[in-house]
Amino acid sequence: MKSTNPETGKSYYTHYKVRAAYRSLRANLLFLFTRKKYNNIQIPNTTNTLDGGTFSPLKI
State the average pLDDT over residues 2-10.
86
The domain spans of the chain are 2-58
DSSP state of 20: H
Contact 14, 23 (CB under 8 A): no
DSSP state of 34: H
Tens digits of per-residue pLDDT, 7-53?
898 888 888 888 899 999 999 888 887 766 666 766 666 666 655 55
Q: Has residue 5 got a pLDDT over 70?
A: yes
Residue 54: what pLDDT?
A: 59
Residue 23: what pLDDT?
A: 92
